[in-house]
Structures are given as C-alpha cells and as structure tokens.
Amino acid sequence: MAEITLFHYIPKKTIIHQMDGRLKLVCMILFTMAAGFARNLYDLAILTSVLFMIYMAAGLSVKRFMIELKYFFILAGIIIGAHSFTVPGTAIPGFPIQRITWEGLNSGLLLSWRLIVMIFIGAIMTGTTSLLQFKNAVEWFLRPLPFIPEARVATMFSLTFVLIPLILDQISEMMDAQKSRCIDGRKDPVTRILFLVRPLLFHAFMRAEEIVQAMESRCYSEIRTKPKFKSTLNDWLVLAFSIFICFIIWVD
C-alpha cells in the first residue's frame, strides 16, 4: 500500500523548507486571504499558478498530490453541480439540461476552486514545515496577546496537524481492507459508509488517547525554553512577493 503524503511533512533542503516559520505562516495566511478576495476565475488562475511554482520549488511531488486530491475533486464536482442547478440566471443555450445557468456554473467553479486552493495552501504549509516549527511560530504570534495561553493553543494546533495525516492513513488502510473483503462491492452506499465511518471514529479517538497518554508519560509541560528564530533576506523577499500577489488580486 502506498503511503498517503498529503498533509505530511516531507523533509528537504529547499528555500521553502528552510524559511522562517513565522514568515512562512504569514505568507500562507496572505495566500488564503487572496483566495477569499478572488472575485473571478482569472484571479484564482493567477493564485494557483503562484502556488504551483512554490510547490515545485519545495520539491514536492505534483503527481502524487493530484492522485491524492481525487476525492476533493469529487467534492468540487458536487459543489459545481449543486450551484449550477440552484443559482438562478441565464440558461446555457444548446445545453440539454435547461436548468443549468451560467451564473450557477460560475459560482460553483469559484467556490470549488477556492476549496482546491485552500487544500493546496495547506499541503504546502504542512509539507514544508515541521510540527515543532509550526508550533513555535503560532506560539510566537500569540505571546503578545493577553489572557491567551499561547503554549497550550500552539500545542493544540500542532496536535491537530498530527491527527489529520494519521486519519488519512487510517482511511487508506481501511479502504484497502474493505476491498480485500469485497465490502466495496455492496450496492447499498449507506452500508459501505457505515463500515468505514464507525471504525474510523473509533481509531481516531484511540489515536488521540494514545497521544495524550504519551504526553503525560513524558511529563509534558507548557513551560519550555523559548525558541530562537532567524530570518534571511530570501525569507523577506518571499514575504514581499506574497504581499504583492495578495494586493494584485485584491485590487483586481
């Protein structure tokens, strides 16, 4: 069974991997804001092209990413279909189904494309940033805020990113196990979903409990040595480029 690499950290020695975690987090937030600001498909095409170049610069496998993105593409297709039928507007001339409108198709494409872009951003962030680096960056940003336990919140964020790839791996293993038992051949989709969801929830809670017990057995404490950050000129140039892209999409 091939291991799922989506949302997994893949250690490499690239500019993106070695970038200051604080600035990298700001860049990803800016790209996320740019995806929200995008008002047309042209803006999303620009943003997708930029993210694709960053993904290539990080040395991550595009082919593997597209294969593992297939279920999100199915969700995107459902979104496009739902909007095409429900959003009122001008019917597409010559199309056999008259209820599909240009406005609905455009709205569905925008929403589904934004979803894919968000996943793209998350894959870049998690694929090039170790959990410790991510935790330290979040903790650094939360430290000036009053009444917020920055170490605890940062730990919660990092544990979330621990569980996401574990759950994806568990889904892959369970689907392979179901195929070997011919469960995927059942005609009732509800039964197939139940056979997948029930053990998945059980294993997810079990993994979370194991992580908690491991942290307690190692006497985990929020009082830790403050990390030291170091940013380079390349880091600031990448940040400036991210701000420029966000500004271009915002004013378009």
Identify any residues that bridge with 101 across adjacent strands, giving them in sequence order.
91
Q: What is the pLDDT of residue 47?
A: 92
Burial class (CB in 10 A: 0-12, 13-18, 19+), 194: exposed
- The confidence score (pLDDT) of residue 185 equals 60
Q: What is the pLDDT of residue 236?
A: 92
DSSP per-residue string spanning 123-174: HHHHHHS-HHHHHHHHHHHHTTSTT--HHHHHHHHHHHHHHHHHHHHHHHHH
Residues in the chain: 252
Q: How far apart are CA 210 and CA 200, in angstroms?
A: 15
Q: What is the pLDDT of residue 23?
A: 92
pLDDT recorded at residue 152: 82
Q: How far apart are CA 126 and CA 231, in angstroms?
A: 19
Predicted confidence at residue 132, as pLDDT, reads 84
Nearest to 241 by CA among 49, 110, 60: 49
pLDDT at 1: 42
> In the chain, which stretches have pLDDT less than 50?
1-2
Token couple for 130: 């170790």
Looking at residue 96, what is its pLDDT? Answer: 65
**What is the pLDDT at residue 98?**
66
Output the six-digit token pair for 177. 């196990």
| Beta bridge pairs of residue 22 | none
